[in-house]
Amino acid sequence: MKIAKKSGQTKPVNLKLQIMDEQGYRYKGPEGYHSFIGQVMAHLGYVGGYETGNIGAHILLSDENGIIDLTCVFIRDDKKWKSRASIIRCGHTREDIKNCLIHWHERFTGNKTGPWGTLMGVRPTKLVHHFFDRGFGDKEIITILQQQYRVEKEMAERLVHMSRLQRPFVMEPRNHVALYVGIPYCSSHCLYCSFPSRLVGKEEEAGLQAFSKALETDLQDLNKLCRQYSLTVDTIYIGGGTPTCLPIAILKDIIQSVAANFSPVQEWTVEAGRPDTATKEKLALLRQYGVDRISVNPQTMQQRILDVLGRHHRVEDIYTMFNNCRDLGFSVINMDFIAGLPVQNVKDMQENMEIVCQLWPENVTIHTLALKKRAPLFHHPLRDRIPSQEEVTKMLEYCDARLVEKGYIPYYMYRQKYMAASFANVGYAFSDAIGKYNIQMMEERQTVLAAGPGGATKFINLPEHRLEKLYMPKEVNAYMASLEEKMQLRRKLCTYIYGREDR
């Protein structure tokens, strides 16, 4: 790789990125590189690609005659940094492009990239599993992460330890699969949420029944595939949306259909995150049909924050729901919290963790707010009340220290676009209550079948662990209209992977 002499250089500027840096970037070049450039820029804290206002970076790329010509201008106030590189196209071209952009950004800001180094992507532990597959030991992998990817030592050690913990869950026979069921309905839209869910209160009964029937057809088709190719469903996850917002008769039809086609399983989770939707009657229904893992997701335990987020319930309702779940005998209760919510401070998150230590849920997931364009918060005045990166870092550090102190083990993690580069979402569990489905979904080493709007079926094509994917439309009517066509495509993919026939 040949890097041309930089021009327009200024003295490095120390920049303190906020949790969701509002700087955009503009890209001009081949469409085939656009998504990749977007990943790199998101890693550096930039959003967009075709943005016209508040531009913090210009990326110009050309690809001619086997040479990549890359030019980048970083901008902040009246400070600019311009660099250019000529890269010979080869097997690691994208890695070279990424390293150039990250290196230039470090020179411009005067700051190192952070604990992740140059390691990008949603699933950082996938790389570690790749090294395990090749026979590398823990110490070797830590060294590779530090030297080749510039990952900080503590982060490298955590990634390897977490991957080692996951290893038994990702080495199961190829005919063992997971099932996801998508329910795209909610009782109200939360301010931070970008998921295109429907408000259940605005749906007519006939529409909900039509959706339920379509989902039943979808599930029956998956059951036929499992029987035809001897696939065993180990775990089930029903998410959304908020599945428990459905009327109990509709919810019962869906749960009955899942149980009839796939029960019993090792682990069956239902997201029941909104206590204003999860009545004791609905929770009892879930237990009746075999659901053993339930998500009670307050996101925060401060009423003032719940109110501004549009979550129409009281803090007391969370306690009531939690106690109902205990009384009904769910073996695992998960609680989700978000760090970085508008008007939130470090004391709020400390209070959340103290409540966790009183309730003792078996699983706790700590998310970091990722500001997405489709979320109401993106254009809301409360966007200005999002806490700084420094504050959120303190929140996350406190959560990690407190949970580990109390015996919780970090067992899976993932990152999101539009999240500050040093942050990740982390799942914690007691050693005897690790969420198997979460590992299966994140590590993408086991086939995941999906039913319902927005579901993504992912067949694992061994030995390369290559994914063959099929996505269901997110919008309910589009899902129902295209269901037969999508099921046919899914059958062909399944035949290709498990029937060893050509498509």
Q: Indicate whether 273 belongs to any domain.
A: yes
Q: Is the Cβ–Cβ distance between 57 and 75 less than 8 Å?
A: yes
pLDDT of 76: 85
The number of distinct structural domains making up the chain is 3
The encoded tokens of residue 415 equal: 């990152």
Residues 101 and 139 in one domain: no
pLDDT of 7: 37
Residues 334 and 449 in one domain: yes
pLDDT of 166: 97
Instruction: Per residue of the chain (503 residues), give pLDDT as tens.
Output: 434 333 333 333 333 333 334 578 999 999 999 989 988 888 887 876 554 567 899 999 999 999 999 999 999 888 888 999 999 988 889 999 999 999 999 999 888 878 888 888 889 999 999 999 999 999 999 999 999 999 999 999 999 999 999 999 999 898 999 999 999 999 988 888 888 789 998 999 999 999 999 999 999 999 999 999 999 999 999 998 999 999 999 999 999 999 999 989 999 999 998 899 999 999 999 999 999 999 999 999 999 999 999 888 999 999 999 999 999 999 999 999 999 999 999 999 999 999 999 999 999 999 999 877 788 888 899 988 999 889 999 999 999 999 999 999 999 999 876 565 578 999 999 999 999 999 999 999 999 999 999 999 999 988 777 899 999 999 999 999 999 999 999 999 999 999 865 44
Domain of residue 179 covers: 172-489
pLDDT of 4: 38
Residues 66 and 145 in one domain: no
Q: For the domain that residue 248 is a member of, what is the CATH number?
A: 3.30.750.200
Please identify, among 80, 109, 138, the residue that sits at the C-terminal boundary of a domain: 109
Q: Is the Cβ–Cβ distance between 324 and 296 less than 8 Å?
A: no
Q: Indicate whether 495 belongs to any domain.
A: no
What stretch of H or E contains 368? strand 363-368
pLDDT of 49: 52
Residues 176 and 159 in one domain: no
Q: Indicate whether 194 belongs to any domain.
A: yes
- 74 forms bridges with which residues in the sheet? 57, 81
Q: Indicate whether 119 belongs to any domain.
A: no
Residues 367 and 453 in one domain: yes
Residues 264 and 364 in one domain: yes
Residues 163 and 177 in one domain: no
pLDDT of 417: 64
Query: How many Å from the N-terminal Cα to the C-terminal Cα in the chain?
Result: 40
3-state secondary structure 382-440: HHHHCCCHHHHHHHHHHHHHHHHHCCCEEEEEECCCCCCCCCCEEEEECCCCCCHHHHH
Q: For the domain that residue 22 is a member of, what is the CATH number?
A: 3.30.160.100
Q: What CA–CA distance (Å, rounded) separates 77 from 11?
A: 13
Distances (CA, A) of 309 to 130, 134, 302, 376: 40, 46, 11, 10
Residues 199 and 319 in one domain: yes
Residues 93 and 215 in one domain: no
Q: Indicate whether 117 belongs to any domain.
A: no
Residues 187 and 63 in one domain: no
Q: Indicate whether 116 belongs to any domain.
A: no
